[in-house]
Structure 1
Amino acid sequence: MARPEPSAVAGALVLAGSAGMLMPLQALITSSAAAPLGGFLPAAILSASTALACMLVASVSIPAARRGWRQVGTVWRERSVPRYFVLAGLIGAYYIVAQAMSVGSIGLALFAVAVVGARTLSSILIDVIGFSPAGRQPITRQRLAGACLLVVGASVAAWGTGARAAEDPMAPVALVVAIVAGLLVSFQQSMNGRAGQAYGSTATATTINYVASVGGLLLAMAVVALLGVESFGFAEAPQWWMYFAGPLGILFVVTGVSLVPKLGSLVLGIGLVTGQLVGSLLMDLLLEPERVGTSEIVGTLLTLVAVFITSWRPNGRPQWKASKLS
């Protein structure tokens, strides 16, 4: 296959960064919907259920996805992947709740730094133990240096939590919730990746993931309602803009998959993360500039540099082989 023109690659990289900016927008919608809907769980359920509805439509529309569903029974009987992989959706449910809970307390920029930093560190652990579909990957000096800088950048950014805690005592808790979400999401992606390989369809694996997410959230809401913490259901009818959180998450994934042939997975990942970090910081500066401190700006930039160092392989060139969304 012919190598794409530099201008086409540059355009694809801009699109990747734009797709990365969808993540803070999704987080902002989920967080903003929590209060009018009556809590973090209703906001998370609305996001996950709308995403599930979209994936069910895709499962019917995409031929490879229909074939993937025919493989589910075989994979389950033969244990081609561990059965507990179906619980990956619970990690997704936790991530959505973390969005709803944390963004209002610590802001989009700090939430993005916590998630990206923890996610990058846990991905190194996943490479060491060989949990991902790619198997075991070596840990180089470059990745260790990037990991150390990542810790520094995240620590500098988190320094601003103290000032936010004066306004919101839940800020330190929200930061911990975001870090845990970042640590877990790498394992979720690895489980979904291996499941997608077994089914022969990423759409099938993603749909099953959202089924587990919605089921887990409904169970959690029932328990919380029985304990009298929140009522079951929505406090008021969702407004039109609240329905976009779930589809934005799917659009982020679909955009990434479509750009793989032009950029390769390494450059694509850097583009997406750049969009997420920079977009989160810009949205915070636009929406609540008085709450953004110097430490968060410096920490975000250090984290961005650390991700570049950790992710980039000097000899790793983009793969130009075509890839189809399945």
Structure 2
Amino acid sequence: MARPESQAHAVPLALAASAGMLMPLQALITSEGAGFLGGYLSAALLSALTSLACLLVASVAIPGARAGWRKFGSVWRDRTIPSWFLLAGLVGSYYMVAQAMSVGSIGLALFAVAVVGARTLSSIVIDMIGFSPAGKQPVTRIRLLGAGLLVIGAVIAAWGTGAQAAESPQALIALAVAAGAGLLVSFQQSMNGRAGKAYGSTTTATAINYLAAAAGLLVAMALAAVLQIESFGFSHAPLWWMYFAGPLGILFVVTGVTLVPRLGALLLGMGLVTGQLVGSLVMDLVISPELVGANEIVGTLVTLLAVLVASWQPNGRPRWKTLKSS
């Protein structure tokens, strides 16, 4: 029996929001690990290697993943996807370094603001040019209104943290790095989504993504060691909780690969960042409830409204009721 049409987009959107709720925890683990492990690259490399190990085990255990790896040669030989799609893994490594570098300087809230705003802009471009597996998506006035509300909600949620960030000499650099990560992550999700379709396996596409990420980080770490910017390797053995950043990153990438064909880049990004802000709010309530203000609660509610607006059709019917499930 076919699923009700009302679930065609509502369920994937809820899954995207759930995955997004764990992103602030990954950012916090990576940031805290950077100082202990000896640098930003070290923290990002640990996350990438842990993710890659998990995915290689899954590649052996899951029949669909084994089939995906068997298709690897033909996919690249026939140029089913462009060879430069391997850069998706480098984007992932950059995002992990951005987490390690930025969160300690500007905090989770401002990091989320920079990523959300930049990702929203790049997602609109991706949908306009049809770069995602979902093809060209209409960027209507109602969707632009939803994107605008999303950015406004993120700014409201982080209101009042700018003065604190301004005291840090690295704040502007950290904001620029975070914004760069937001601009690139939508393209990464679209590339991974198209790669997942080519291999016929989300696990295969995600494993290749992290293989490229780990290789890129090792090269960057070697260059940093030669330039005496950061030592090669880990200064201390990782603590047990630092290994959780990798699996959380897998969840984020797999969500993008799986859901971008259903939702398109803009709507997927909105679901993820809404969950990200909700997760940030929950973490603040658990870790430092005395710092939670009405602005964070209001900003989170505005982002939830933004997702509803962006998914609504001009005739008043929700977007998820107008498209049939595949």
For 1:2 and 1:244, the matched residues in 2 are separated by 37
For 2:194 and 2:142, the matched residues in 1 are separated by 27
Q: 1:47 touches 1:243 (CA, 8 Å); kept in 2?
A: yes
SS of 2:321 mapped into structure 1: coil
Q: Deviations over 1:196-250 (max 9, x none)?
A: 1111111111111001000001111111111111111111111111111001222
Q: Deviations over 1:113-150 (max 9, x none)?
A: 32233222211100111111111111111012123333
For 2:105 and 2:141, the matched residues in 1 are separated by 36
**Where does the alignment leave 5 or more consecutive residues of structure 1 unmatched?**
none
Report the equivalent of 1:171: 171
**Where does the alignment leave 5 or more consecutive residues of structure 2 unmatched?**
none
Residue in structure 2 matching 1:317, options 312, 321, 325: 321
Report the equivalent of 1:49: 49
CA separation of 1:284 and 1:177: change in aligned 2, threshold 3 A: farther
CA separation of 1:167 and 1:284: change in aligned 2, threshold 3 A: farther
What amino acid is the match of 1:66?
R
For 2:132 and 2:20, the matched residues in 1 are separated by 22
Report the equivalent of 1:140: 140
Report the equivalent of 2:187: 187
What amino acid is the match of 1:317?
K
Matches within 5 A, 1:225-304: 225-252=225-252, 265=263, 272-288=272-288, 298-304=298-304
Report the equivalent of 1:100: 100
Report the equivalent of 1:127: 127
For 1:203 and 1:291, the matched residues in 2 are separated by 39
Report the equivalent of 1:83: 83
Report the equivalent of 1:218: 218
What amino acid is the match of 1:41?
L
CA separation of 1:60 and 1:185: change in aligned 2, threshold 3 A: same
Query: Alignment identity in percent?
Result: 70
CA separation of 1:169 and 1:310: change in aligned 2, threshold 3 A: farther
Size of the alignment, in residue pairs? Answer: 316
For 2:12 and 2:184, the matched residues in 1 are separated by 29
Report deviation, 1:302: 3.5
Deviates more, 1:223-232 or 1:161-170: 161-170
Report deviation, 1:76: 0.9
SS of 2:320 mapped into structure 1: coil
Name the TM-score, length of structure 1 as normaliser. 0.84
Report deviation, 1:288: 4.5
What amino acid is the match of 1:28?
L
For 1:43 and 1:117, the matched residues in 2 are separated by 25
Report deviation, 1:189: 0.7
